[in-house]
Amino acid sequence: MRTAKIANRTYQYLLLLLGLLVFIGPLLWLVSTMLKTQDQTYVFPPKLLPQPFTLSAFSRLFETMTLMPRWILNSFIVSGINGLGTIVTSSLIAFGFARMKSRLRPALFVVVLSTLMIPSQVTLIPMYILFSKIGWYDTWLPLTIPVLLASPYFIFLFRQYFLTLPRELDEATYVDGGGYWTIYSKVILPLSGPILISGFIFSFVFTWTDYFTPLIFIQSEKLQMMSVGLQLIMGKNSQDLPMMAAGSFLALLPIAVIYFAAQKYFVEGVVMSGIK
């Protein structure tokens, strides 16, 4: 019996190790490529360990693409605005669906969820015409205002979490003379740290990795995001594989740092919201 348990545990660890290699393999190859010289990337058979190690790809990246620091800063600003805006607007609407009583609440919630089935390509042309008419083209407003007006996905995510909180807390607040705003700001939000952090992470990552929206609505290179900047690198330096790998690494680094720093809250928030 003991031998069978050891064998079963060994198989489990082997499967986990295999899955780890599948997912971490491309990342290891990315790091290996950015530390190589251009000549080493064309060696056959390819080698994982660079000989010698060099960081010249990063120097070439910032020398060739002088707007790279600007693109990184732009992405941080827009992603941060969208992350904070998502927490404020979507959580406020989700609170209404989770706590307020109304005969129209179920029907309105169905309408909100139904908008998730509308592809973004369907609304692209009307949004482009609208933003061009009101002078928002080639600004950050098309990238931030629609997100700040709340997202159906995050409304659903926050609502599911708010439903797990005891309603006795609301009744105790009513007894103390508080209203809906007091319940939202003083009771619900302080107890919703995990899901708020998860919502910020999701929104930040969605915005950071979004390529389509800034490509359509932003023309000036100084206002562009990191996602579009990577494509500009590929277009101008397609033969310099280490430099492209260095740019991809810089684009992945903030996401990895955020996930590792907030991993505990991220997992707790997603599980408690009922999405597994």
pLDDT at 202: 86
Q: How far apart are CA 264 and CA 84, in angstroms?
A: 19
Give the CB-side neighbour count of residue 58, counting CA atoms within 13 A: 9
State both tokens at 3: 């031998």
Omega of the bond prior to 52 within 30 degrees of 0, cis? yes
Q: By the 8 A CB rule, do 275 and 70 touch?
A: no
Q: How far apart are CA 270 and CA 276, in angstroms?
A: 7
Q: Where are the domains of the chain?
A: 66-272
Q: By the 8 A CB rule, do 37 and 54 touch?
A: yes
pLDDT at 76: 92
Q: How far apart are CA 41 and CA 34, in angstroms?
A: 9
Reported as a single tens digit per residue, the pLDDT across 159-205 is 888 888 888 887 888 877 778 888 888 888 888 888 888 888 888 88
pLDDT at 161: 86
In sequence order, what are the residues at sequence separation of 6 or more whose Cβ sits closer than 8 angstroms to the Cβ of residue 13? Answer: none
Q: By the 8 A CB rule, do 158 and 94 touch?
A: yes
Q: How far apart are CA 117 and CA 123, in angstroms?
A: 12
Which three-class secondary structure state does DSSP give residue 57? helix
Which run of H or E residues covers position 111? helix 105-114
Q: For the chain, which ranges sit under pLDDT 70?
A: 1-2, 237-238, 265-276
Give the CATH number of domain 66-272: 1.10.3720.10
